[in-house]
């Protein structure tokens, strides 16, 4: 420090020193990296230009209290004691500096004077710091001896204050800007994390020319392209060639631009050429920049399949219900023709309906797939099987729903006849129901121990079911005999192995 240099024209040298100090101050402020640099430069300038080594800078805090932010040559105790003391309030305009040449002569409370005295201070200057004309703080200079402040010192002080105020304000603006940028960066980061965590959704942006400009991890997962290989590619790259040929990508952007939103439901093709049913929306990105489009879509293949399946199932259900109604209608018509009294109709119709219902129950339990012949026989004949009057003999084979319904009708008619006229009409007769299957199935109903059977006089419903209905239903003749030993009935039908005997498996 070239302070207080001696020479012939000391006033000129002093002036030159002050100018050099101010120049250095301005330069240092310009280069300052931090607010601390600014304060240091200020103290340096005060020391050189005002020749005062003790100084402090105070600023209003956010509560409007004047607080020390930096000082030189002050004790911690002093700072604490006078912290918050200010001749100005926040927002004051046209604040003028205050110079106290001798604290002993000042009109201040004794306690404050005492604090100042103990710090070894005799003269003080309060220089307001302003920003846009409003007081934001002050800097203080402190001298150990009585000091008469000159006009020149006042001007220098105000020059330093103006520079300092401006620097602080600029610094604050920059910090606010940085905070804003940091906030933006963080919120972008958060957005990115959200976009990436939405891994079920492909979220991409397209530029005005329809090229892919961003690609989230959901898009990578869904379509198999990495961001690095897809950026800059046309947005229709994952559409079908037909969709691309008919300008679907352009149309989508046009609709988004003109209507604010474009929906898309179509096949999307992955990098490995497999496809999924993509469902999504495209929106134009609001903003002053060039056209951009945001596109969000997801894989709805499963949902679509389920919807189609459900539609099909409802149609199928409707068909089944109507067919069943038609069957019941026929059952009533046929039964009506073969009986003479309403009571007989009710009884016959009920047992037939019940047999049909039991077969339906069974088929429903098996989801209308193949069912075991054994189970169908049980459904109709259970009570007699438990009594030991009817016995079953045959391998576990599955038959189709159609065959199951036909057989349950047949068993019901055979049972009804056996109870009325055959082996189950007395207490000792029995029935053996047996079946064997190779290329075709042969199901045999054989009554023993009942009264000798003779062909009925008229062909009732039961006989018709067995002779004509069943034969055409199963595609093979039914051999029904009324013999002295009892009724025998041999039903032949196609044998379709297990799983293939199911209902239609048109699937979707």
CA distance to 377, 395, 492, 500, per residue, from 438 (Å): 20, 11, 11, 15
Nearer to other proteins, 193 or 326 (CB): 326
31 binds other proteins, rule: CB under 8 A: no
Count residues binding other proteins (CB under 8 A): 34
Q: How far apart are CA 283 and CA 253, in angstroms?
A: 8
Nearer to other proteins, 104 or 333 (CB): 333
Tracing tokens 């020391």 back to the chain, one arrives at 47
500 binds other proteins, rule: CB under 8 A: no
499 binds other proteins, rule: CB under 8 A: no
280 binds other proteins, rule: CB under 8 A: no
Beta carbon of residue 447, minimum distance to other proteins (angstroms, whole number): 23
| Choices 88-96, 186-194, 327-335, 419-427 (CB under 8 A): range interacting with other proteins | 327-335
Alpha helices in 209-341 (DSSP H): 217-223, 227-230, 241-245, 248-259, 301-338
What letter does residue 421 receive in the DSSP assignment? T
Binder of other proteins out of 318, 350, 434, 454 (CB under 8 A): 318
**C-alpha torsion angle, residues 11, 14, 16, 22 (rounded to 10):** -140
From the list 171, 176, 163, 177, the residue with the least C-alpha distance to 33 is 171
311 binds other proteins, rule: CB under 8 A: no
Q: Which secondary structure element, helix H or strand E, spans residue 32, and what is its range? A: none
CA angle 226, 202, 308 (to 5 degrees): 125
Nearer to other proteins, 163 or 334 (CB): 334
Beta carbon of residue 319, minimum distance to other proteins (angstroms, whole number): 4
323 binds other proteins, rule: CB under 8 A: yes
CB atoms within 10 A of CB 266: 17
Nearer to other proteins, 176 or 325 (CB): 325
Structure tokens at 52: 């005062």
Nearer to other proteins, 222 or 415 (CB): 415
221 binds other proteins, rule: CB under 8 A: no
| Choices 7-15, 164-172, 269-277, 402-410 (CB under 8 A): range interacting with other proteins | 402-410
Beta carbon of residue 402, minimum distance to other proteins (angstroms, whole number): 5
Q: How many residues does the chain have?
A: 508
At 199, is the secondary structure helix, strand, or coil?
coil
Nearer to other proteins, 106 or 328 (CB): 328
Beta carbon of residue 503, minimum distance to other proteins (angstroms, whole number): 5
Nearer to other proteins, 93 or 311 (CB): 311
Beta carbon of residue 346, minimum distance to other proteins (angstroms, whole number): 18
Binder of other proteins out of 251, 310, 330, 454 (CB under 8 A): 330
Binder of other proteins out of 100, 230, 406, 424 (CB under 8 A): 406
Beta carbon of residue 329, minimum distance to other proteins (angstroms, whole number): 5
380 binds other proteins, rule: CB under 8 A: no
What letter does residue 100 receive in the DSSP assignment? E
CA distance to 45, 90, 95, 136, 173, per residue, from 133 (Å): 22, 11, 9, 9, 16
Q: How far apart are CA 4 and CA 11, in angstroms?
A: 11
Binder of other proteins out of 473, 486, 487, 493 (CB under 8 A): 473
Structure tokens at 224: 């198999």
Structure tokens at 177: 């800007």
Binder of other proteins out of 4, 64, 91, 315 (CB under 8 A): 315
From the list 410, 449, 413, the residue with the least C-alpha distance to 430 is 449
409 binds other proteins, rule: CB under 8 A: yes
Binder of other proteins out of 163, 264, 334, 417 (CB under 8 A): 334
What letter does residue 271 receive in the DSSP assignment? T
Asked if 123 and 146 count as a contact pair (C-beta separation under 8 A), the reply is yes
Nearer to other proteins, 267 or 368 (CB): 368
CA distance to 206, 236, 255, 275, per residue, from 232 (Å): 9, 12, 22, 22
Nearer to other proteins, 216 or 334 (CB): 334
Asked if 380 and 358 count as a contact pair (C-beta separation under 8 A), the reply is yes
Nearer to other proteins, 198 or 353 (CB): 353
Nearer to other proteins, 2 or 506 (CB): 506
320 binds other proteins, rule: CB under 8 A: yes
21 binds other proteins, rule: CB under 8 A: no
| Choices 124-132, 243-251, 257-265, 312-320 (CB under 8 A): range interacting with other proteins | 312-320
321 binds other proteins, rule: CB under 8 A: yes
151 binds other proteins, rule: CB under 8 A: no
Structure tokens at 199: 């891994």
Site string for other proteins, 428-467 (x = CB under 8 A): ------------------------------------xx--
Contacts of 146 (CB under 8 A, 6+ apart): 101, 102, 122, 123
Q: How far apart are CA 36 and CA 29, in angstroms?
A: 10
Nearer to other proteins, 63 or 508 (CB): 508
508 binds other proteins, rule: CB under 8 A: no
Rg of the chain taking only CA atoms, in angstroms: 52
Asked if 115 and 78 count as a contact pair (C-beta separation under 8 A), the reply is yes
Binding site residues, other proteins, CB under 8 A: 315, 318-323, 325-331, 333-334, 337, 400, 402, 405-406, 409, 464-465, 468-470, 472-473, 475, 503-506
């Amino acid at each position: 420090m070239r302070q207080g240099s001696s020479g012939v024209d000391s006033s000129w040298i002093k002036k030159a020193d002050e100018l050099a100090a101010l120049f250095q101050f301005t330069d240092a402020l310009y280069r300052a990296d931090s607010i601390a640099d600014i304060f240091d430069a200020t103290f340096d300038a005060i020391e050189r230009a005002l020749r005062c080594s003790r100084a402090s800078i105070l600023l209003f805090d956010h509560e409007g209290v004047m607080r020390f932010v930096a000082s030189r040559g002050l004790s911690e105790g002093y700072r604490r004691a006078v912290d918050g003391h200010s001749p100005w309030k926040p927002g004051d305009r046209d604040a003028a500096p205050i110079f106290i040449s001798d604290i002993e002569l000042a009109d201040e409370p004794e306690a404050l004077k005492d604090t100042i005295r103990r710090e070894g201070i005799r003269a003080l200057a309060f220089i307001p710091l302003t920003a846009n004309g409003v007081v934001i703080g002050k800097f203080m200079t402190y001298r150990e001896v009585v000091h008469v402040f000159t006009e020149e010192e006042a001007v220098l002080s105000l020059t330093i204050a103006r520079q300092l105020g401006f620097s602080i304000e600029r610094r604050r603006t920059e910090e606010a800007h940085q905070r804003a940028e940091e906030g933006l960066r963080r919120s972008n980061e958060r957005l990115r994390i959200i976009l990436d965590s939405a891994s079920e959704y492909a979220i991409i942006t397209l530029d005005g020319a329809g090229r892919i400009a961003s690609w989230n991890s959901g898009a990578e997962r869904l379509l198999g392209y990495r961001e690095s290989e897809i950026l800059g590619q046309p947005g229709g790259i994952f559409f079908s060639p037909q969709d691309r040929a008919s300008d679907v990508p352009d149309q989508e952007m046009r609709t988004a631009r003109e209507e604010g939103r474009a929906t898309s439901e179509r096949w999307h093709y992955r990098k490995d050429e497999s496809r999924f049913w993509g469902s999504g929306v495209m929106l134009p990105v609001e903003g002053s920049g060039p056209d951009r489009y945001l596109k969000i879509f997801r894989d709805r293949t499963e949902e679509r399949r389920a919807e189609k399946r459900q539609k099909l199932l409802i149609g199928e259900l409707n068909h089944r219900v109507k067919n069943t109604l038609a069957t019941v209608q026929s059952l009533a018509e046929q039964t009506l023709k073969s009986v003479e009294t309403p009571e007989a109709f009710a009884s016959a119709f009920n047992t037939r309906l019940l047999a049909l219902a039991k077969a339906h129950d069974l088929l429903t339990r098996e989801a209308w797939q193949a069912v075991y012949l054994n189970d169908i026989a049980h459904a109709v004949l259970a009570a007699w099987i438990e009594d030991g009057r009817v016995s079953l003999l045959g391998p576990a084979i599955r038959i189709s729903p159609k065959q199951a319904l036909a057989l349950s009708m047949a068993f019901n008619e055979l049972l009804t006849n056996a109870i009325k006229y055959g082996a189950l009409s007395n207490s000792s007769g029995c029935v053996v129901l047996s079946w064997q299957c190779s290329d075709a199935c042969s199901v045999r109903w054989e009554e023993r121990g009942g009264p000798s059977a003779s062909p009925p006089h008229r062909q009732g419903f039961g006989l018709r079911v067995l002779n004509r209905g069943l034969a055409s239903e199963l595609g093979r003749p039914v051999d029904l005999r009324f013999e002295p030993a009892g009724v025998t009935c041999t039903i032949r039908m196609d044998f379709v192995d297990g799983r293939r005997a199911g209902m239609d498996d048109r699937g979707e």
